[in-house]
Amino acid sequence: MIRFFTSVVVAMMVATTPIGAQQPSRLDDIIHRRTLRVGMTGDYAPFTYFDKTTSSFRGFDVDMAEALGNALGVKVEYVKTSWPELAQDFDAGRFDIAMSGISITLDRQKSGLFSIPVMREGKTPIARCADQGKYNALADIDTSGTRVIVNPGGTNERFAHAHLKIAEIKTYNDNVTIFDEIANGRADLMMTDASETRYQQKLHPGILCAIHPEKPFDFAEKAYWMPRDGALKAFVDQWLHIAIEDGFFQNIYARWFQ
């Protein structure tokens, strides 16, 4: 079961000039321009999904982004990105925070700061229900003839290439329709975050089944990714801490995941 973290980092890193004058922070910039720019891929339901009919984002992290904007007293502006371009867009400063079901990785930590974790989970398989007994262990998956499908540019692709040496790894560019490839028999399984396997199982009842999502293959946490600005991180951490403690976070979580 996913557990929520209630600890919060309270130390704030303050950049100073040689004469001790405090420099403006990213938090100051956001409040001054009255806009929070949020980076989203829009292809990772239920965290974020871009609805082409309404040209708008929706999902768990959309609701959380709107709540963060309200806490800051600013408007939320969504910046469309993709998993292959996420790091590049982050480094280019196209957005103030990335909220898109993003896993904490050491590579991402090198270029930015993460909020306190909001979810704990890991990679686990999802396959056709008729085949779910075949793929309980990585050794069961890494066999000749097994077709594992991945979306490019994220932790799913990296996990598959790190752990599979024999199975065929198929790259599929559309993360919205990728699970239809499994349902329709064009791939055998995908290894992705346990939360996503549970959600896709709900969308494909009796067709796709999450395989031991309560015991994933690895350990991972999800959080919100920001530039190296201590003031912004401290605000986001405190906002999350309050949201978790007063039940707001759980209400949003239940809306999308339960």
| Tokens linked to 236 | 């986001």
- pLDDT (mean) for 146-172: 96
Q: Say yes or no to pLDDT of 200 above 80.
A: yes
The CATH-assigned architecture of domain 123-210 is 3-Layer(aba) Sandwich (3.40)
A 10 A CB-CB count for 218 gives 14
**Beta strand residue intervals within the chain, DSSP E:** 35-40, 43-44, 48-51, 56-58, 75-80, 97-98, 113-114, 119-121, 123-128, 147-150, 168-171, 189-193, 208-210, 220-222, 225-226
pLDDT band at 5 (very low <50, low <70, confident <90, very high): very low
- pLDDT (mean) for 71-96: 97
Domains 26-120+219-257 and 123-210 share a fold: yes
Give 15 or 230, the one with higher predicted confidence: 230
Q: What is the CATH number of domain 26-120+219-257?
A: 3.40.190.10
Tens digit of pLDDT for each residue in 119-135? 999 999 999 999 999 99
- pLDDT at site 15: 39
- pLDDT (mean) for 88-114: 96
The Cα 246–Cα 192 span in angstroms is: 30
Give whole-number Cα distances, 21 to 15, 16, 24, 235, in Å: 9, 6, 10, 21
| Ranges of each domain in the chain | 26-120+219-257, 123-210
The Cα 141–Cα 190 span in angstroms is: 10
Residues 148-160, buried b or exposed e (16+ Cβ, 10 A)?
bbbbebbbbbebb
Q: Taking CA 79 as the corner, what is the angle to CA 8 and CA 82, rounded to the nearest 5 degrees?
A: 90
- pLDDT (mean) for 162-181: 96
- Contact indicator for 79, 57 with CB cutoff of 8 Å: no
- pLDDT at site 7: 43
pTM, rounded to two decimals:
0.82
Smallest Cα–Cα separation from 137: which of 221, 215, 220? 215
- Contact indicator for 37, 96 with CB cutoff of 8 Å: yes
| DSSP type of residue 218 | S
